[in-house]
């Protein structure tokens, strides 16, 4: 008998005295619900049940801790309230097991109400086995087949849940119970219950995929013949692959060749896994085996048909292996010596595979460190040599590398570029990888336009690019879908970028593209109010409170002592400009301040000082939406050019333009730019690029680099054309 139930029984019997709903409401107080009141009033002795419910709620609140409010509120659901009043002691025991996830457990009970009402004890046992993640098991228990199987093999199900919990795989418990409840596994459970529990104990969180192996008749027969050897093989895989075991078993199950090899010659698979483990140095790399392409390459390697290095590239370039391997470079952002020590510990192969991963991975500075290290490692051979050596041309991995290089302006045309002229032409299909998709991705088209601009003048490039664009247009035909219209518009702009006035565009579209050219010019009138250029500078306190913010105050001190605004902002006034510096205590405070200022006046030059990973928290992509004004945004964080697409896509009616960075920002570039823009008032009309070039020496004097500043790029123009 549970402690709570025993305590209730030991209390003095409460006589059956009538009680009114009003009294029940008064006693329940907070978390009082009509459903709970109704269920209490239906009982034989409402007053006694009320006391029991009150005591139970106290115990549940203690168990749920910080999440007590949510847990107790869940008791108000009609089904949950009915079950709670009928099985009060069971709810307390489940709460003690589920703790902070009690709310989720109670909600799952409501969905499995029929089973719970018939056998609440089964839920209590499973909850004790699962602990905090009991809700995942309860989710599975609402299925009739799971209920039937659990009734017949209750102890086995409890032991499996316990084994998985001890291995940290609680979230997968529901999956395991569902698989165990299948007809094939039920057949196996009849004679091999202990052996199946043994499998769960050995592989832990990977149990669902281990059990799925037995859904194959051949695998089941191999297991029946020698459960001990089969389990021993699984344990060996677990020791090699650790947290990647489930993915490896999933890869084996989904590949006919691997499944046959596992049944006939498991030692071949073990040997191959050991080879891979030696190269990847990360058990998480094995999680890439969920990918059918990776499991196919693994099968080829097992058969002696594929190269280990190609398999390793496929595994390490997939997340989470890539994000795990590169994470320390981000985490050590502020500790340069240790950061460089970790970078130097990586092999050339590992550096290469990190750059083949998702282009969104890693900070700007991390990507540039990886680019530099790759160039130093390959020497004169060039990145094209590696792509050919590993047969990566035209693959998704190659596209990741190319688009990553484009994003950080390391593709082609500069001293530190990755690709030579010949190599840039060879990877054209990777540049155009976004065209293979059936939907429009603004970020991809942004990068594609910038890359096309770089290489369109190279021999044979123009012909190849034009051929691919026309081919995509033919495949699209007459656009009807929302996404297809955007793809068509994007290709139209790319054709204009390629052929200029000779592009196959209709007359009206030519006019629209030409009009966009005006956006390259700085027009002070767009950002002026009451005759003064309106400039708002926002600082992330955590990132720049001790350096850039005080430096900016010193910078603008030349304009006199600032006034302090009602929000704590500092206001510097000149005859032609109003400069506001604001640094909130939190990022959320910065968001509120900017939104409030834009409502007052949507026409501004706005700058941000903070790290790249803080930009979105201070300036969410939709912050300019619906303001119907003109904003020149200078997101001074590292690699901010990569965020332009999301801002344009959510700008609403705002005329939004940018001066951004393609690399690691440094020096007082933002303040230098502000001075240049203020000084451009009353001067001859000029483009943003011309203004920056004119102030090159001033920017460099203060530690900046004009080469990494991006203004009115082809990618920005393309998105403005698409979202016109």
Dig out the tokens for 718 from the structure: 């393309």
Which residue is it, tokens 């702009």?
493
Interatomic CA distance for residues 5 and 293, integer angstroms? 55
Cα separation, 566 vs 625, whole angstroms? 25
Q: For 265-335, where are the alpha helices, taking DSSP H only?
A: 266-280, 292-302, 308-316, 321-331
CA distances from 659 to 34, 78, 449, 577 (A): 58, 56, 17, 19
Provide the pairing of β-strand 532-539 with 604-609.
Answer: parallel
Residue with tokens 């510096």: 581
Taking residues 349-362, report their average pLDDT: 91
Cβ neighbours around 312 below 10 Å, total: 23
Kindly report the three-state secondary structure assignment for every residue of 105-165.
HHHHHHHCHHHHHHCHHHHHHHHHHHHHHHHHHHHHHCCHHHHHHHHHCHHHHHHHHHHHH
Residue 363 has pLDDT above 90, yes or no: no
Query: What is the Cα–Cα distance from 142 to 109, expressed in whole angstroms?
Result: 8
pLDDT band at residue 473 under the 50/70/90 scheme? confident
Q: Is the pLDDT of residue 12 over 60?
A: no
For the ranges 23-37, 252-266, 278-292, which has the lowest average pLDDT? 23-37
- Cα 641 from chain centroid (whole Å): 19
Each residue's pLDDT tens digit, 630-658: 999 998 767 677 888 899 999 988 999 99
Other Cβ atoms less than 10 A from the Cβ of 404: the count is: 26
- pLDDT tens profile 127-177: 999 999 899 999 999 999 999 999 999 999 999 999 999 887 667 899 999
User: How far apart, in whole angstroms, are the C-alpha atoms of residue 647 and residue 248?
Assistant: 40
Alpha carbons 515 and 386: distance in angstroms, whole number = 43
Tell me which H or E stretch contains 563: strand 563-564
Q: What is the reported pLDDT for 481?
A: 60
Residues facing 570 on adjacent strands: 564, 581
> CA–CA distance from 642 to each of 85, 134, 317 (Å)?
56, 42, 21
Handedness of CA 519, 718, 664, 417 (dihedral sign): negative
Using 50, 70 and 90 to split pLDDT, how confident is the model at 482? low
Q: What average pLDDT score do residues 668-691 get?
A: 91
Residue with token string 């203020």: 678
Residues whose CB is less than 8 angstroms from the CB of residue 708 and which lie 6 or more positions away in sequence, other chains included: 409, 661, 662, 663, 664, 665
- At residue 549, does pLDDT exceed 60? yes
Calpha distance 16→79 (Å, rounded): 26
Q: Are 311 and 298 in contact (CB under 8 A)?
A: yes
Using DSSP's 3-state secondary structure scheme, residue 437 falls into coil
Given this model, what pLDDT does residue 399 score? 93
């Amino acid at each position: 008998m549970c402690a709570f139930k025993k305590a209730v029984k030991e209390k003095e019997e409460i006589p059956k005295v009538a009680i009114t709903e009003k009294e029940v409401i008064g006693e329940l107080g907070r978390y009082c619900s009509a459903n709970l009141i109704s269920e209490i009033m239906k009982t034989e002795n409402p007053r006694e049940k009320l006391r029991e419910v009150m005591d139970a709620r106290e115990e549940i609140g203690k168990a749920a801790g910080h999440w007590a409010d949510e847990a107790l509120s869940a008791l108000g659901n009609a089904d949950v309230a009915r079950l709670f009043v009928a099985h009060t002691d069971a709810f307390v025991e489940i709460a003690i097991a589920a703790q902070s996830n009690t709310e989720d457990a109670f909600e799952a009970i409501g969905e499995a109400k029929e089973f719970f009402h018939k056998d609440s004890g089964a839920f209590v046992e499973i909850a004790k086995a699962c602990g905090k993640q009991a809700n995942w098991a309860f989710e599975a228990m609402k299925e009739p087949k799971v209920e039937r199987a659990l009734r017949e093999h209750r102890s086995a199900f409890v032991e499996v849940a316990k084994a998985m919990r001890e291995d940290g795989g609680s979230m997968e418990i529901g999956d395991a119970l569902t698989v165990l409840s299948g007809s094939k596994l039920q057949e196996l459970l009849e004679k091999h219950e202990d052996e199946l529990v043994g499998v769960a104990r050995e592989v832990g969180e990977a149990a669902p995929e281990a059990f799925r192996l037995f859904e194959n008749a051949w695998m089941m027969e191999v297991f029946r013949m020698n459960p001990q050897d089969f389990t021993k093989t699984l344990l060996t895989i677990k020791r090699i692959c650790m947290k990647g075991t489930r993915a490896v078993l999933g890869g084996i199950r989904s590949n006919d060749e691997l499944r046959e090899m596992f049944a006939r010659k498991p030692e071949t698979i073990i040997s191959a896994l050991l080879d891979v483990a030696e190269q990847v140095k990360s058990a998480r790399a094995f999680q890439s085996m969920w990918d059918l392409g990776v499991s196919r390459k693994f099968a080829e390697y097992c058969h002696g048909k594929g190269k280990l290095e190609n398999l390793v590239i496929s595994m390490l370039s997939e997340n989470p292996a890539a994000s795990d391997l590169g994470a320390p470079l981000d985490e050590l952002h502020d500790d340069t010596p240790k950061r460089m020590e970790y970078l130097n510990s990586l092999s050339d192969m590992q550096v290469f595979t990190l750059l083949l991963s998702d282009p969104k991975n890693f900070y700007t500075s991390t990507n540039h460190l990886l680019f530099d290290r790759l160039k130093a490692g390959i020497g004169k051979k060039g990145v094209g040599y590696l792509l050919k050596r590993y047969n990566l041309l035209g693959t998704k991995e190659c596209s990741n590398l190319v688009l990553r290089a484009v994003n950080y302006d390391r593709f082609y045309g500069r001293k530190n570029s990755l690709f030579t002229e010949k190599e840039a032409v060879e990877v054209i299909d990777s540049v155009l990888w976004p065209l293979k998709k059936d939907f429009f991705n603004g970020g991809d088209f942004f990068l594609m336009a910038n890359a096309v601009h770089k290489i369109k003048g190279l021999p044979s490039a123009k012909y190849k690019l034009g051929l691919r664009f026309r081919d995509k247009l033919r495949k699209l035909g007459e656009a009807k879908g929302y996404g297809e219209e955007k793809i068509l518009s994007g290709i139209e702009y790319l054709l204009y970028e390629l052929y200029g006035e000779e592009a196959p565009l209709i007359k009206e579209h030519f006019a629209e593209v030409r009009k966009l050219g005006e956006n390259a010019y700085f027009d002070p009138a767009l950002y002026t109010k009451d005759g003064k250029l309106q400039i708002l500078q926002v600082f992330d306190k955590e990132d720049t409170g001790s350096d850039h913010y005080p430096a900016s105050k010193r910078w603008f001190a030349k304009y006199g002592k600032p006034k302090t605004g009602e929000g704590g902002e500092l206001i510097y006034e000149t005859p032609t400009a109003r400069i506001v510096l604001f640094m909130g205590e939190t990022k959320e405070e910065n968001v509120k301040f900017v939104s409030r200022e834009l409502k007052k006046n949507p026409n501004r030059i706005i700058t941000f000082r903070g790290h790249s990973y803080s930009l979105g928290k201070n300036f969410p992509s939709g912050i300019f939406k619906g303001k119907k004004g003109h904003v020149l945004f200078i997101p001074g964080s590292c690699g901010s050019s990569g965020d332009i697409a999301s801002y344009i896509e959510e700008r609403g009616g705002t005329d939004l333009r940018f001066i951004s960075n393609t690399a690691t920002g440094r020096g007082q570039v933002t303040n230098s730019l502000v001075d240049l823009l203020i000084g451009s008032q009353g001067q001859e009309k000029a483009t943003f690029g011309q203004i920056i070039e004119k102030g090159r020496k001033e920017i460099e004097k203060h530690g900046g680099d004009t080469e990494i500043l991006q203004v009115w790029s082809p990618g920005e123009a393309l998105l403005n054309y698409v979202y016109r």
